[in-house]
Amino acid sequence: GGLMRHGASPDRGAVADALHQSGLLLAFSVRIGGATARVLARRRLSLRELLEQAWFLASVTTAPALLVTVPLGVVIALNVGAMAGQLGAEGYGGAVVAFVIVAQAAPLICALMISGVGGAAMCADLGARTIREEVEALEVMGISAAERFVVPRVVAAVLVSTALACLVMAVGIGASLGFQVFVLGEAPGAFLASLSEFSRVRDFVAAEVKAAVFGALAALVSCFKGLTTRAGPSGVGDAVNEGVVLAFILVFVANTVLTEVFAVVIPAGGASG
């Protein structure tokens, strides 16, 4: 219990309040991690709630993600084609596209969609339940709000984010290939050859791990802000805005950390098979 009593105090200094919120979010994340382990171990995860949340997230994030991915693939192909032509390295377009889309763009696009579109809706839903005291009523009845509301949303966000990352990679690489072949008139064989030479299964696995982490972070932040919403007409709106901004910041920090970790764990392209 006690999810309701952690709202930020308006008279607290900005830095102190940020540190306070960070500590509460960390404690909340640890608690949700424990709740997730318990729910999965005891097979108490509500499949209906999980499927509803996953379907909702997929329905609101897939179209925007693809609408961002297609022009991104075209822009990458255009810039790579122009640069490669100047350097005399026309055959390496596929390698650059693989690095940019697989290693960086796909997980980040998924994270921004889960945070900005799905996370905002999650936060608004839980915020409305909080100010109507539904969450507090469940806690009083001995039903864990973490297990009932948060765990299915976090698991759904992880599943949808990893699946969406695969779709974004396929569409992004396809858009880039199509633009280079049909607009720039380059041979598809060279693109595909450099793509297969420089991209490895481990790169795709690393991108999927990133997408899963980003999805979990976005869901945790959204649920935390929703469950700590302050009462009042603007309480839910403030929580949604703060949640989206905080999720974006954490995703970019996590991306930097994971990129550095993977650079150490996984040798650079071409160093190993």
Report pLDDT digits (tens) over 225-255: 988 888 766 788 888 888 888 888 898 899 8
Q: In which band, very low, low, confident or very high, does the pLDDT at 166 lie, cut at 50, 70 and 90?
A: very high
Residue 172 CA to residue 174 CA, distance in Å, equals: 5
User: Is residue 272's pLDDT more than 80?
Assistant: no
User: Is residue 8's pLDDT more than 50?
Assistant: no
pLDDT at residue number 5: 46
pLDDT at residue number 195: 77
Query: Do residues 170 and 124 make contact, with C-beta atoms less than 8 angstroms apart?
Result: no
Mean pLDDT over 179-203 rounds to 77
Report pLDDT digits (tens) over 119-165: 888 888 888 888 888 888 888 887 777 788 889 999 999 999 999 99
Residue 104 CA to residue 133 CA, distance in Å, equals: 41
Mean pLDDT over 6-10 rounds to 49
What is the per-residue burial (b if ≥16 Cβ within 10 Å, else e) of 242-259?
A: bbbebbbebbeebbeebe
**152 to 16, 33, 40, 223, 227: CA distances (angstroms):** 32, 12, 10, 11, 15
115 located within any domain: yes
Hey, is 37 helix, strand or coil? helix
Residue 245 CA to residue 162 CA, distance in Å, equals: 22
User: Is residue 216's pLDDT more than 70?
Assistant: yes
273 located within any domain: no
Mean pLDDT over 106-111 rounds to 87
Query: Do residues 136 and 34 make contact, with C-beta atoms less than 8 angstroms apart?
Result: no
Mean pLDDT over 217-228 rounds to 91
pLDDT: which is higher, 57 or 186:
57
Name the domain count of the chain.
Answer: 1
Check residue 187 and report its DSSP letter. -
Hey, is 266 helix, strand or coil? coil
The residue segments making up the domain with residue 195 are 3-265
- Give the percent of the chain with pLDDT over 70: 87
7 located within any domain: yes
270 located within any domain: no
What is the overall mean pLDDT for the chain? Answer: 81
Query: Do residues 61 and 114 make contact, with C-beta atoms less than 8 angstroms apart?
Result: yes
**30 to 48, 61, 124, 178, 229: CA distances (angstroms):** 25, 27, 22, 45, 20
- Give the percent of the chain with pLDDT over 90: 16
User: Is residue 181's pLDDT more than 60?
Assistant: yes
pLDDT at residue number 39: 85
56 located within any domain: yes
pLDDT at residue number 158: 93
271 located within any domain: no
**78 to 71, 103, 188, 238: CA distances (angstroms):** 10, 19, 15, 40
Mean pLDDT over 19-30 rounds to 85
25: closest CA among 160, 253, 235, 226? 226
Tell me the pTM: 0.82
156 located within any domain: yes
pLDDT at residue number 221: 93
150 located within any domain: yes
